[in-house]
Chains A and B, each alone.
Chain A
């Protein structure tokens, strides 16, 4: 069954580490921990004066699903107004509960649906980004 979970696209996303790292001067940053497994994601974002995400970097201490999710999220979120991140979160939640197929690389997470204990691995980067974008 793990063949379905760790299919080629998930492994490729995780290994690519695209967008991994830190920003020199982030507008906002947030770290989220998964208290059950100890995984940790830090998201740095830089916003322009119209609250559009112009740059995003992630540091992930987590599993392949978490790594792949951070890469997929960074690719989709860069260039979006920060107000639209909630829409991306709703999309990945829908993929995980089987009510939507998901756009682009978000669709790669559909096989995670039956693995309830792994849903948090996928959503942790989203939570870190949403946390970073909260009004301070």
Chain B
């Protein structure tokens, strides 16, 4: 397979639409990626030919809906390295998936047990654990971050101990783009019998994930960042963990039997999918996973890293710009944060918007990391396979204008 960015761009209808009279240069992919025809068509096909509730009905549409929903689960399982489909739980999003683990697996923990989180985590991988700590008295242990914006795995021996029950870290930082050394994290956890959860929100948009090779216990990601619809996310966990975990939400579909005297739980994954699930979004996510599995990620990786290098070279030429994150291309994905001296990130982003360039500015729901670097926020560029040189050059032109206007 070869990679043709122009052909790929034609699969995304929104990229051809001007915004405020400008060509759209969409580089806010880390917040939400755009959606290709393959996903839009799959959702429309479901909604127009198979819309019904799943699992319960015997009529033709209900059967078709169930098949589409469970087919999407199988697609996600293949995307995650061929894990059993029964280990894939559909949730309302990545945040919902982490909360599910914190509420359910967390309820099995005891006061004094410890959970290790890194300083660069998104708030969605801090707050649910803080709430658990408030509720049952587990202790949170922060894992430091290096000057390059990487999780400092060399500090694991100082933070992980016999009381550690879980290490939960970002697979890829949503601020610095650094990829965590998963093998080091897993080795540290196994040494004390702890579990490992990876927040894959920023990793899943860059191709299939080989979970069996990673050797972790929980993995979560969001549909809308991975070219799928909003309102859908995924929790994967090992079967034996899911079978030991109590349900998080109660309702229809998640039970074995119900009487006023006793209720039994359905086996996973249904145990964790109370009520009518987000069927259309799940179908869309399944299509997004199939779409991603059909791409040549070696070629795309080279393309994305070429753009990342062009971006970093361009920023290096701006005297007041400095990066928050790895200075090179090794061990990173194309998430690049930068700061301009004397220009606030919101003002940078607003100027960029006038060039048709969409980026995210602020603390990126990573306030402990902002405190680590003693900054209020950054301007963040997240590159997707459909981005091209024109997007990067438009961004760099906007940065020059921001410097000219404010510095």
Q: CB-CB < 8 A to B345: which residues of A? A: 63
Interface status of A1 (Cβ within 8 A of chain B): yes
Is B350's CB under 8 angstroms from A38's CB?
A: no
Contact of A38 among B347, B370, B405 (CB under 8 A): B370
Q: Which residue of B lies closest to A66 (CB)?
A: B344
In the A-B complex, the 6 residue pairs with the smallest Cβ-Cβ separation, listed nearest first, are: A38-B363, A63-B344, A2-B354, A63-B346, A37-B362, A64-B347
B20 / chain A contacts, CB cutoff of 8 Å:
1
A36 contacts partner chain B, Cβ-Cβ < 8 Å: yes
Residues of B with C-beta under 8 A to A36: 362
A11 at the B interface (CB under 8 A): yes
The number of residue pairs between A and B whose CB atoms lie closer than 8 Å in the complex comes to: 50
Q: Which of B328-373 contact A (CB under 8 A)?
A: 344-347, 350-351, 353-354, 361-363, 367, 370
A118 at interface by CB-CB < 8 Å? yes
Residues of B within 8 A of A65 (CB): 346-347
Q: Are B353 and A1 in contact (CB under 8 A)?
A: yes
Q: What secondary structure prevails in chain B residues at the interface with A?
A: helix
Q: Tell yes or no: A23 within 8 A of B by CB.
A: no
Provide the bound-state CA to CA distance between A64 and B343, in Å: 8
Interface size on A, residues (CB 8 A): 21
* A121 in the interface (beta carbon within 8 A): yes
- Contact (Cβ within 8 A) A38 B362: yes
Question: How far apart sit A92 and B346, CA to CA, in the bound complex (Å)?
Answer: 21
- Determine whether the beta carbon of A11 is less than 8 Å from that of B405: yes
**B351 CB contacts on chain A under 8 angstroms:** 2, 6
Name the interface residues of A1-34: CB closer than 8 Å to any CB of B: 1-3, 5-6, 11, 14
* A6 and B344 in contact, given A38-B367, A38-B377, A61-B376 (Cβ under 8 angstroms): no
Given A37-B377, A39-B346, A121-B346, output 7 extra A-B contacts at Cβ < 8 Å: A2-B350, A2-B351, A6-B347, A6-B405, A11-B405, A37-B361, A40-B376
Binding site for B on A (CB under 8 A): 1-3, 5-6, 11, 14, 36-40, 61-66, 115, 118, 121
Q: In the docked arrangement, what's the CA distance between A38 and B370, Å?
A: 9
List, sorted by A's number, 20 A–B pairs whose CB atoms are closer than 8 Å: A2-B354, A5-B350, A6-B406, A11-B405, A11-B406, A14-B406, A37-B346, A38-B362, A38-B367, A39-B376, A62-B344, A62-B346, A62-B376, A63-B344, A63-B347, A64-B347, A65-B346, A65-B347, A66-B344, A115-B350
Residues of B within 8 A of A64 (CB): 344, 347, 406
Q: Which residue of B lies closest to A1 (CB)?
A: B354
B68 → chain A closest CB, angstroms: 37
CB-CB under 8 A from A11, the residues of chain B are 405-406
A38 surroundings in chain B (CB, below 8 A)? 362-363, 367, 370, 376-377
In the bound complex, how far is the Cα of B22 from the Cα of A13, in angstroms? Answer: 29
Residues of B within 8 A of A121 (CB): 346
User: Min CB distance, A3 to chain B, in Å?
Assistant: 7
Rounded to whole angstroms, the CA-CA distance of A61 and B363 in the bound complex is 12
Once bound together, how far apart are the Cα atoms of A121 and B405, in whole Å?
Answer: 19
A130 to B376, CA, bound (A): 23
